[in-house]
Structure 1
Amino acid sequence: MVDSAIITDNSEVLLHFDLKLEDGSAADSTRVHNKPAKLVMGDGSLTPNFESCLRGLKAGDKKTFTLPPDDAFGMPNPDNIHHMERSKFNLDAPAEVGMIIGFTQPGGMEIPGIIRAVAGDSVTVDFNHPLAGETVVFSVEILKVK
């Protein structure tokens, strides 16, 4: 019997996805290590806009969606850019432009920050999502729906 379950709220979904920028450069893919993603619709692992792309699909479906920044990872927020003292960085993790460093928040949760600039004793850290402001091309292959 062919699995014909359709993706709805609370569906368990096994899928491969590719996330690219408009210029075709790869941003993320489950195919790199041939390890499909597993998620439950509504569990927060995907934004509502990404989830809406999946609703109605079933196992065997392949589809590509182009999402503008507001429907993907949003626009960069200037309030998420912080200037820190260079002394906050140690020799094991020196601040270099382009590096992504994990910063521990007061509650213990870790958030990634991208080093955007290093000038004198000041380091500019961007806590926006790395794909904020980008139009993304989201391609999916649905493997299983429960």
Structure 2
Amino acid sequence: MTIKKGDIIKVEYEGRLEDRTIFDSTELEGGEPLKFEVGTRTLIQGFDDSVIGKDVGDSFEITLNASEAYGVIDPLLVQTVCIDQLPEDLDPEPGMMLGVGDANGTHSMAWVKEVDEEFITIDMNHPLAGKTLYFKIKILETGCEPDPPDAHECGCGCEDH
């Protein structure tokens, strides 16, 4: 059966970066196939779009540029602030994730890009923003039942990953 928008399917997948590092996979998500409704944009756009027109049993590879995946890097989301604005008990290091809030009370995650004696540079872009992603995908099943409303699948698109 050919997959179309609105179908609920299960897939196995593996996502790699340009240096061949695996950043996400069915195995890393506990070995359970990823189940999702096609065309609802609950996953990254390029991954979601790639399964349309495929059939159960198909295995294929895709390459997604940044705009089809987690987006291009937005320089407005990279900010340098005075280290004195941080809580005293925080000892930031490059690569560390921080919860940040803005004047409107909106909270998001940021990763520490650079730290010196006076300033810290944080990046609120998704960690995979600006990157080309490579996926191997195998369609396992279609016609699946939807999950209950309180269930949540992750993998290949969760923002808090």
Output the TM-score relative to the length of structure 1: 0.81
Partner residue, 2:97: 100
Select which of 50, 67, 71 maps to 1:70: 67
Partner residue, 1:38: 35
Question: Helix, strand or coil for the counterpart of 2:138?
Answer: strand
Select which of 83, 86, 89 maps to 1:88: 86
Amino acid at match of 2:136: S
Output the TM-score relative to the length of structure 2: 0.75
The number of residue pairs the alignment matches comes to 140
Runs (4 or more) in structure 1 with deviation over 6 Å come to none
- In the alignment, is the contact (CA less than 8 A) between 2:45 and 2:69 conserved in 1? no
Partner residue, 1:54: 51
Distance (Å, rounded) in 2 between the aligned partners of 1:125 and 1:44: 28
Distance (Å, rounded) in 2 between the aligned partners of 1:132 and 1:76: 5
Post-superposition offset of 1:44: 2.5
Amino acid at match of 2:80: H
- Unmatched runs of 5 consecutive residues or more in structure 1: none
From the superposition, tell whether residues 25 and 11 of structure 1 become closer, same or farther in structure 2 (CA, over 3 Å): same
- Unmatched runs of 5 consecutive residues or more in structure 2: 144-161
How much identity, in percent, do the aligned residues show?
27
RMSD between aligned alpha carbons? Answer: 2.1
